Amino acid sequence: MAYKSILSVLTDPALVDAALSAATAIAAQEDAHVDVLSLGIDRTQVGYAYLGSAPALIEVSIERAEADAAVLDKAARAYLGRQDVRWGAEAAVAQLGGLGPLVELKARFADLVVLPRPYGKARGPESEGVLEAALFEGQAPVLVVPDTGINGRIGKRIVVAWNEGREAMAAVRRALPWLKQADVVNITVIEPPASSPERSDPGGMLCQMLVRHGVKAEVSVLAKTAPRVSDVLAQQVRDVNADLVVMGAYGHSRLREAILGGATRDMLENAAVPVFLAH
């Protein structure tokens, strides 16, 4: 299956170019259609209010959110209008607690969702909310791009983060269109556990499966030489000059990763190349 319907959800004017540079580059590569949803966030969380004041607060917040959505929509249309791809754009307003169903509806009918990094300086909670709604409720694969966007085609040299988990397998299956086109796919296994059923040949069964699909795959088994798995993975990306990482999303609970961190969160905070996620 190719990626023919690509969705991008925008919530930050500073990251419009980053997300859309990737979405339009992939659309041109795949002869796909790009849909863009510009979201203004109504941040009203009324816990209490003086008599008569709540309607005024809500009205001001909605007006601000509508203005934010209009700014995003204008920027998106201006960017898309300069690209040689098929596209559509719309704007909407949602509260933080209500953006999930809207993103879910759009993501459910997309082959790929392209988003800017959800973590980092000046990122609001809506960025993480959009990512999680697309992944979990929308059940769509998500490509998270660095703040600098991408330059041209990606997916020539790919690192697959393989830990034998269901999430990693889901990511591999959803990434097959890219894996089959890559010049090389490096299956990276970091310190497989002694109890692993693949202990005698880490990554071997996955490599065999991919080779049968025509993928030019190889396996690297690495020791955990840094405190975090994401640090070892990032170094491997640099060592093999990869331009894309494929990994399962949130092997631990999202709450645990939010509090203690985890490979998904760490990679999304620091990755210098796009990260393809599925759950």
Block mean pLDDT (10 aa), the chain, length 279: 92 95 95 97 66 63 93 98 97 91 97 93 89 94 93 90 94 97 97 81 96 98 92 96 94 51 82 93
CA dist., res. 44 & res. 199, Å (int): 52
Instruction: Please give the pLDDT value at position 245.
Output: 97
Instruction: Please give the pLDDT value at position 256.
Output: 47
Minimal CA–CA distance to 114: which of 83, 150, 86, 160? Answer: 150
Q: Which two tokens stand for residue 22?
A: 């990737």
Alpha helices in the chain (DSSP H): 16-30, 54-81, 99-108, 125-132, 166-174, 176-181, 204-212, 229-239, 254-260, 263-270
Query: Domains plus CATH for the chain?
Result: 5-145 (3.40.50.620), 157-274 (3.40.50.620)
Instruction: Please give the pLDDT value at position 55.
Output: 65
| Residues pairing with 61 in the sheet | none
| Residues pairing with 33 in the sheet | 5, 86
Q: Which two tokens stand for residue 105?
A: 């509806």
Instruction: Please give the pLDDT value at position 193.
Output: 79
Q: CB within 8 A of 78, min separation 6: which ones?
A: none
What type of residue is 135?
L
Q: Which two tokens stand for residue 242?
A: 């990869």
3-class state of residue 238 by DSSP: helix
> Which of 247-258 are b and which e, b meaning 16 or more Cβ less than 10 Å from the residue's Cβ?
bbbbbeebeebe
Instruction: Please give the pLDDT value at position 152.
Output: 76
DSSP state for residue 98 in the 8-state scheme: G
CA dist., res. 189 & res. 103, Å (int): 33
3-class state of residue 35 by DSSP: strand
Instruction: Please give the pLDDT value at position 45.
Output: 62
Type and span of the H or E element at 95 = strand 86-95
